[in-house]
A = this chain, B = another copy of it.
Amino acid sequence: MTSDKGATKDLFVGIDLGGTKIVTALVSEDGRIIAEDYRQTEATRGLAGVVRRMTDAATKVMKSARVNPGQITAVGVAAPGPIHAESGVVTAPPNLPGWKDVPLRQLLQDELGLHTELENDANAAALAEHRFGAGRGTQHMIYVTASTGIGGGFIVNGELYGGATGAAGEIGHMTILPKGPYCGCGSRGCLEALASGRAIAREARERVACGVPTLIGDLAEGDLDRISAKLVAEAAAQGDVEAEEILGEAMTYLGVGMANLVNLFNPELIVIGGGLTKMGERLFNPVRRVMHRRAFHSSMQAVVIAPSQLGDDVGVLGAAVVAMVSQQ
């Protein structure tokens, strides 16, 4: 997007609703964050409270920038899937216990008096990386978030691809080991059950619980509940063989999943974001190596594998882009 200093720009509010926190920002049409707000979701305290915290945050970011609601073009919300984007309903997110078929878009629109759009968080992040991040100018791009779970969004011909009912892009629930570990989705051997932060922590806990000698147990001070993917990465960085093996296996599966995406979609770019990418080359090296062994040579030559450029802002910027796209 070109920046035209001095001209009045459209303003958007993006709200990134997560299971633990809500990030809200006032965003200009060229992707600049003008004001930002962080607060706890406190999902267990009920839906009405969450909606109030979201509207309070939206009001606060506008006020802090001395902007009144009349100057806002639209509000975009990124929420944990699954959702129905068209009807603006959050169906049954595992991270928001007790929520079932919540008409979140309508609730927020009524409270704020502003046009509001809803999208699932992975699709919103894909839109953000495509418009303002690593994917600028691409036609065929895949965004992958490798975090507690694994999700993604597809950009096809320069636009978000939703499929028949807006549910496309469930990268984490492609089976790559039919008799592998059971998955939260009810299937088994899904990429998410093999390569996500949750899968890494589960594998580490199993080994520690079985008495396998590893630094992971020491770092967790024997408390299985303290074992996380981050802790495993710390142990691996200190040369712990078990931790290295756990991460190596997870990254191999992630590479298999990415190779599948290359053979199926022939994308020009795969952007990988999410907490696991904080491992840097400990993630990207094995993923690239596996992809080169598994995917078609010509399709590998055509694709770039890149880290997310928007970092922790990808969610709230994505929410804002959802609002922008609705105005085109």
Measured between beta carbons, the chain B residues less than 8 angstroms from A164 are 139-140, 266-268, 299, 302-303
Q: How large is the interface on A (under 10, 10 to 19, 20 to 34, 35 or more residues)?
A: 35 or more
Contact A296 to B178, CB < 8 A, known contacts A164-B267, A264-B170: no
DSSP class of A's interface residues: helix, strand, loop or mixed?
loop
Alpha-carbon distance A162/B260, docked complex (angstroms): 15
**Set B252, B265, B302: member contacting A178, Cβ < 8 A:** B252
With contacts A168-B264, A266-B164, A267-B163 known, is A178 near B177, CB below 8 A? yes
Check: A253 CB closer than 8 A to any chain B CB: yes
A25 vs B252: C-alpha distance when bound (angstroms):
47
* C-alpha gap A13/B171 in the complex (Å): 40
Can you offer 23 A-B residue contacts whose CB atoms are under 8 A?
Answer: A139-B164, A156-B157, A163-B266, A164-B268, A164-B303, A165-B299, A165-B302, A166-B266, A167-B266, A167-B299, A169-B266, A174-B263, A174-B264, A175-B176, A175-B260, A175-B294, A178-B252, A178-B253, A185-B296, A187-B259, A187-B293, A260-B260, A264-B264
Chain A contact residues, CB within 8 Å of chain B: 82, 91, 139-140, 156-157, 161-171, 173-178, 185, 187, 252-253, 256, 259-260, 263-268, 293-296, 298-299, 302-303
